[in-house]
Amino acid sequence: MKTPATDWTPFWTQRRIMTLVLAAGALVVAVGLGAAYGSVAMPLPTVAAMLGNKLLGLVQTAAALAGERAAAFILKLQGLEVTPNWPGSWETIFFQVRLPRVFLAAMVGAALSLAGATYQGLFHNPLADPYLIGVSSGAGLGATLAIYLGARLSWAGLGAVPLFAFAGALLATAVIYGLAQVGGRTPVTTLLLAGVAVAALLSALTTAIWMAATTTFQHMTVISWLMGTLSLSNWAHVRALAPYLLVGGVVITLGARALNLLQLDEEQAHLLGLNVERTKLVLVAATALLTAAAVAVSGVIGFVGLIVPHAVRLAWGPDHRFLLPMSALVGGSFMIAADGLARTIFAPSELPVGVITAICGVPFFLYLLRKKKQAVF
C-alpha cells in the first residue's frame, strides 16, 4: 500500500481544481433544473426572470434602507425588472416549495456523502455508510416514538419528529461509543460490533412501537419517514441543517490528512505524530452530528453515503483531500436528481426518495466496480 500523501502544495494541481469547479458547476445546474421541473413545469428563462426580480427586489430594499441618496440607484434597478408574464402561483411554488426542497436535497446529499467517505476511511471498510454505528436506528426510534405519541413540540421551525430523531441519533451514537471504549481506547472492531448490537436493539424497539400504532396514518407516516422523504421540506429545515453541515463539513475536511494517515494503521499513524484516539473521537462526533442533522430533516435515505464516496474513490482515487469535497458536490447533485425522479415519475403522487436512491444507485455502483476491476483499499 502506498504511503498517503500529506503535502498540500503539489497535490492541488490544475486538473484537480478544474474537476472540483466542474462538479460545483454541475451542482448549480442540478439546482436550477430541480427547481424548474416538476408536476408543474416552468421554462428555465421564466425561472431566471423570477429569480432576477426577486434579487433586484432585495437589492432595492437594501438601497432604500441606505437613505435618499440611493433613490437614483433604485430607479435604475426598477428599469431592469422583468414584467411578470407568468401565473402568480408559480412564484409561490418556486420560492416556497421547490427551492427549499432542492436546497435541502443538495445539503442532505452532501452531508451523507461526507459522512460516508469519513466512515469508509476511518473503518478501512469500503462498505461503511453514515448509519454504520447506529445513527439511523436511533433516529428511527426517536421519530417513530414522536409519531406514536403524537408529540406536539416545535423549536426553530422544526416539529417533534425531526427533533426526536435528532436526539435519538445523537444519544444512540454516544451510547455506542461509550460501550466501545476499552481501557481509554476505542478499537474500531469493538466500535463496529457495539454499533451492530445496539442498532439491532433499537430497530427492534422501533418495529414494536410501529406495530403498536393504532391508526393507518401513523403506520404510513413511520414507513414514509424510514424510507426517506423530502416532501415536507421548507426553509426552516434548510436553516436547521445549514450550521451542522458547515461546522461538520469544515471539521471533517480539516481531518483529511489524518484520514490519509489512518489508511496505514493506528500504530504507524501514531508514530507519524497523530493522536489517534482524539482524531477518532473528533471524526466520529462530527460525522454523527452531520448525519443526525441530515436524517432529522429527511428521514433515513439509504445508499447515498455508501455509493457516492465509493464511486468518487474509484473514479479519482482515495486521497481524502480531494475525496471529501468531491463527494459532497457529487452527493448533492445525485440527491437532487433522485428527488426529482421521486416527485415526478408518478406525479402527482410521490415515491420515497430512498426507493429512487436504491434503484439508481445500485446499478451505477455495480457498473463502476465492473469498469475499474480493482479494489482501491
Quick one: average pLDDT of 263-274?
75
In a domain, 15, yes or no: no
Q: Are residues 117 and 251 in the same domain?
A: yes
Q: Are residues 154 and 252 in the same domain?
A: yes
Q: With b meaning 16 or more CB within 10 Å and e meaning fewer, what string describes 86-124?
A: eeeebeebbeebbbbbbbbbbbbbbbbbbbbbbbbbbbe
Whether 320 is covered by a domain: the verdict is yes
Closest to 307 in 3D by CA, of 123, 68, 49, 127: 127
For residues 61 and 207, membership in a common domain is answered with: no
pLDDT tens-digit profile of 57-72? 655 555 555 555 555 5
Q: By C-alpha distance, which of 319, 332, 324 is closest to 376? A: 319
195-204 pLDDT, tens per residue? 888 888 988 9
Decide if 2 is inside a domain: no
Identify whether residues 81 and 106 lie together within a single domain: no
**Number of domains the chain contains:** 2
Mean pLDDT, residues 280-308: 89
Amino acid in the structure at residue 83: T
Give the pTM: 0.84
pLDDT at 3: 47
Could you tell me if residue 34 is inside a domain?
yes
Q: Are residues 263 and 190 in the same domain?
A: yes
- Give the pLDDT confidence score for residue 220 in this predicted structure: 84
Beta bridge partners of 38: none
Q: Does 242 lie in the same domain as 105?
A: yes
> pLDDT of 7-36, one tens digit each?
444 566 788 889 999 999 999 999 988 888
Question: What is the per-residue pLDDT for 76?
Answer: 52
C-alpha span between 140 and 323 (Å, rounded):
29
Neighbours of 73 (CB within 10 A): 14
Q: Tell me, what's the pLDDT at 1?
A: 43
Identify the band that residue 331 occupies on the pLDDT scale cut at 50, 70 and 90: very high
Is residue 137 within 8 A of residue 199, CB to CB? The reply is yes
Smallest CA-to-CA distance from 145 within 161, 169, 127, 121 is with 161
pLDDT for residue 63: 52
CA–CA dist 97, 184 (Å, integer):
48
Determine contact, residues 168/141, Cβ cutoff 8 Å: yes
For the residues 215-232, what does the mean pLDDT come to? 84
d(CA 195, CA 149): 27
- Tell me: do 198 and 110 sit in the same domain: yes
Q: Which residues contact 198 (CB under 8 A, 6 or more apart)?
A: 134, 137, 172, 175, 176, 179
Q: With bands split at pLDDT 50, 70 and 90, how would you rate the model's confidence at 247?
A: very high
- Looking at the fold, whether 71 and 105 belong to one and the same domain comes out as no
Task: Kindly state the cell numbers that stand for 299.
Answer: 428521514
Looking at the fold, whether 55 and 69 belong to one and the same domain comes out as yes
The b-or-e profile of 226-262 (16+ CB within 10 A means b, else e) is: bbbbbebbbebbbebbeebbeebbebbbebbbbbbbb
Mean pLDDT, range 351-357, rounded to an integer: 89
With a cut of 50, say whether residue 6 has pLDDT above it: no
The domain in which residue 78 lies consists of 43-85
Residue 295: pLDDT above 60? yes
- Residue 28 is predicted with a pLDDT of 92
65 with 105, same domain: the answer is no
The verdict on 127 and 73 lying in the same domain is: no
Q: Which of 62, 85, 108 is the last residue of a domain?
A: 85
Domain final residue pick, 55, 85, 115: 85
Q: Is residue 9 domain-resident?
A: no
pLDDT for residue 9: 46
136 pLDDT band, cuts 50/70/90, is confident
Residues whose CB falls within 8 Å of the CB of residue 89, separated by 6 or more in sequence, listed in order: none
Distance CA 165, CA 294 (A): 10
Does 218 lie in the same domain as 146?
A: yes
Please provide the DSSP assignment of 50-76 as one string: HHHHHHHHHHHHHHHHT-GGGHHHHHH
Distance in angstroms (rounded) separating the CA atoms of residues 284 and 297: 20
- pLDDT of the residue at 156: 65
Q: 7 in a domain, yes or no?
A: no
Structural domain includes residue 172: yes
Mean confidence (pLDDT) of the chain: 81
pLDDT band at 182 (very low <50, low <70, confident <90, very high): confident
348 in a structural domain: yes
CATH of the domain at 29: 1.10.3470.10
